[in-house]
């Protein structure tokens, strides 16, 4: 039996148990009436609620139009990286390469990025997608320049082809995570850009990171 079938079946069992538990009498247990499921719920009612749960699960697990808005990222990319220090007017520049592809039958985008920074090899991995339950876009990022996770949620404006996310990034000097935001702009089929903004030492927001992507030939 496939793992997904096991998980799906387990979910149905849990939900069914939750459904029946809401109607269990607080009185002394009585023998179940004919035509009723354990817990006193009529078989027909329980079947109806189970069908509704299956319908909602199907909607939750199925990629839709919102996922298609992420198609522009699929492929191999060359990135021009700029990083700003709040105390320095000029950014530090480097390059990277990224390969982005759909995984799990079009449910999530997998991003593998490699580059260099200060003479060190950089490796990063991201997952992004659209949460059908929250009705929001999301991404998570990890890399070899840290041990933490960055988790973001955001929205998409189809008119401007812009994604806006909020998340927390490490503030090592303060010893905590600080609120930050990012903006992703689709320029054309072969170009897109990502910018990050975070609070500086004075508490004012500044742009601390930018990558401009060009599709690799």
Q: Is residue 129 located within the same domain as residue 175?
A: yes
Q: Domain total for the chain?
A: 2
Q: Is residue 73 located within the same domain as residue 50?
A: no
Question: What is the extent of the structural domain holding 12?
Answer: 3-20+28-61
Using pLDDT thresholds of 50, 70 and 90, give the confidence band for residue 173.
confident
Closest CA to 162 of 180, 138, 187: 187
Q: Is residue 54 located within the same domain as residue 147?
A: no
Q: Is residue 39 located within the same domain as residue 101?
A: no
Q: Is residue 95 located within the same domain as residue 202?
A: yes
Q: Is residue 149 located within the same domain as residue 81?
A: yes
Q: Is residue 140 located within the same domain as residue 200?
A: yes
Q: Is residue 141 located within the same domain as residue 47?
A: no
Q: What is the tens place of the pLDDT at every residue in 26-58?
A: 444 555 555 555 556 678 888 999 999 999 999
Q: Is residue 106 located within the same domain as residue 197?
A: yes
Q: What is the tens place of the pLDDT at every residue in 89-124?
A: 899 999 999 999 999 999 999 999 999 988 899 999
Q: Is residue 126 located within the same domain as residue 180?
A: yes
Instruction: Provide, rounded to the nearest whole percent, the portion of the chain with pLDDT above 90.
Output: 72
Q: Is residue 16 located within the same domain as residue 97?
A: no
Q: Is residue 10 located within the same domain as residue 73?
A: no
What CATH number is associated with residue 210? 2.40.128.20
Mean pLDDT, residues 156-165 taken together: 98
Of 10-24, 152-166, 179-193, give the lowest mean pLDDT range.
Answer: 10-24
Quote the strand ranges of the chain, DSSP E.
75-83, 92-103, 108-117, 120-131, 136-143, 150-157, 162-171, 176-188, 191-199, 205-215
């Amino acid at each position: 039996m496939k793992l997904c079938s096991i998980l799906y079946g387990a979910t149905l069992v849990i939900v069914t148990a939750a459904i029946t538990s809401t109607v269990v009498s607080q009185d002394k247990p009585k023998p179940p009436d004919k035509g009723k499921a354990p817990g006193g719920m009529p078989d027909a009612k329980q079947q109806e609620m189970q069908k509704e749960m299956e319908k909602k699960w199907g909607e939750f697990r199925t990629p839709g139009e919102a996922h298609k808005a992420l198609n522009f990222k699929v492929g191999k990319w060359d990135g021009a990286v700029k990083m700003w220090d709040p105390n320095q007017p000029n950014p530090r520049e480097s390059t990277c390469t990224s390969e982005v592809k759909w995984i799990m039958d079009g449910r999530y985008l997998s991003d593998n990025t490699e580059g260099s920074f200060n003479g060190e090899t950089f490796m990063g991995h991201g997952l992004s997608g659209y949460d059908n339950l929250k009705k929001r876009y999301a991404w998570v990022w990890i890399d070899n320049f840290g041990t933490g996770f960055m988790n973001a949620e955001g929205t998409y404006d189809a008119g401007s082809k812009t994604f806006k996310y909020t998340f927390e990034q490490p503030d090592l000097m303060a010893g905590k995570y600080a609120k930050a935001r990012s903006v992703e702009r689709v320029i054309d089929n072969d170009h897109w850009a990502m910018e990050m903004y975070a609070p500086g030492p004075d508490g004012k927001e500044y742009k601390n990171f930018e990558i401009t992507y060009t599709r690799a030939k």
